[in-house]
Chain A
Amino acid sequence: MKKESKEAIRKELQELGSSLKAGDSTPGFRVPDAYFDQLPNAIQEKLPVKTSPWVFNLPVLAYRRLIPAMAVLLLLAGITFSLFMLRSDGIGDQLAADFEAADLEYVVYQTGMDRGLWYELVLESELTADEILFGLETGIAEAENGYDEMIEMMFEDAHYYGMESSVLLSFLD
């Protein structure tokens, strides 16, 4: 990270007729002792374990491992089923109630986004689907109602999930 020179910052403040003087970058803020020595470990402990891609390997499924393997498969099937139910009964119902199904399909189709990502956007932003749909329909003209902030957040989320803002913008247009 290449910083601006202190001189440039000072000159800019001077040109603005300001009496502010750039100084301490952490004015008055403190941290507990040895905080930055411990933070990397605290972060490492929170990292999800990266798993290597699963490769189908018949010998692995030896008889003695068959039962645990089946248990895992059943568990996965259960989770998939629960997620399906959650989607249709929980989030799905909530969204369906807020969005007309056709609206959702239209939004998903227009933005080229994955439906799952839309659910994530809705949940992540803690906005109702109505708010998002309204925001998308009205664009950022409703600044005084805070929808600009919402759209901004959506763009940020979209960026975070690796989607292009231009995709969302083209929909807003």
Chain B
Amino acid sequence: MKQYTDEELLAMFSGGDNPNYAFNLIVRKYQEPVYWHVRRLVVSHDDANDIVQDVFVKTWQALGKFRKDSALFTWIYRIATNEAFSFLNKKKRRFMLPLMDVSKQLEETLESDVYYQGSEMEKKIQKAILSLPDKQRAVFNLRYYEEMKYEDMSEILNTSVGALKASYHHAVKKIEQFVRGD
């Protein structure tokens, strides 16, 4: 299948006869990175599946108003990050959970999710990542697993490059300590 550029896809969506087809191509292009980004944040496959579907429905609803002052992928990632954070915040409020208990709950989800089959070392690193605050987790995941540039992360998380670097460095140190068992 031909890999269209974002510009081509947007032109097809807004100017073509079949916006559904153009949107389907956008979904096919971004579903996997968006899914993994959300999955690493919320851990459970079922939750990630619901959130990703909502992300693309919102993308569909707002795509006509997309101002193109950022790249399409950073815009979709931003919606995805907001949806995932919003889900986690609702969870915290619903169960009146402090930060530590949220990470405990996410750890339990990791242990019980039938779609998680990490090795002991992978599980240990995931648990270390889950002990971080949500935003720092997002920064770490985007940099470490997705090898994203700080400039792109800056658009997604609406945070300066300097602050992101500091956040990533802190995260690496904390994970290192956690894994070493300090």
Contacts and interface: CB of A to CB of B under 8 A. Distances in A.
A36 B89 contact: no
A1 B152 contact: yes
Given A2-B149, A9-B143, A40-B27, A29 B172 contact: no
Interface string B21-42: 0011001100111011001100
Given A29-B39, A30-B116, A160-B62, A22 B149 contact: no
Given A20-B176, A32-B45, A27 B118 contact: yes
Interface stretch (A58-66, A73-81, A111-119, A149-157): A149-157
Contacts of A1: 33, 71, 73, 148, 152
A29 B82 contact: no
Contacts of A53: none
Contacts of A19: 176
Contacts, number: 124
Interface size class for chain A?
35 or more
B57 to A, nearest CB: 5
Interface in B91-131: 93, 115-119, 122-123, 125-126
B116 A29 contact: yes
Interface in A115-173: 124, 126, 149, 153, 155-157, 159-160, 162, 165
B57 A29 contact: no
B173 interface: yes
25 contacts: A1-B152, A3-B146, A4-B149, A6-B147, A9-B144, A9-B147, A20-B175, A22-B144, A25-B36, A27-B122, A28-B118, A29-B39, A29-B45, A30-B45, A44-B24, A48-B60, A149-B89, A153-B85, A153-B86, A153-B89, A156-B158, A157-B82, A159-B78, A162-B65, A165-B158
Interface of B: 19-20, 23-24, 27-28, 31-33, 35-36, 39-40, 45, 49, 52-53, 56-58, 60-62, 65, 71, 73, 78-79, 82, 85-86, 89-90, 93, 115-119, 122-123, 125-126, 143-149, 152, 158, 169, 172-173, 175-176
Interface of A: 1-6, 9, 13, 16, 18-20, 22, 24-32, 35-36, 39-40, 42-44, 46-48, 50, 124, 126, 149, 153, 155-157, 159-160, 162, 165
Given A3-B148, A20-B144, A157-B82, 20 more contacts: A13-B172, A16-B169, A18-B173, A27-B122, A27-B145, A28-B119, A28-B126, A29-B39, A29-B118, A30-B116, A31-B45, A32-B45, A36-B32, A39-B49, A39-B52, A43-B31, A46-B57, A160-B79, A162-B62, A165-B158
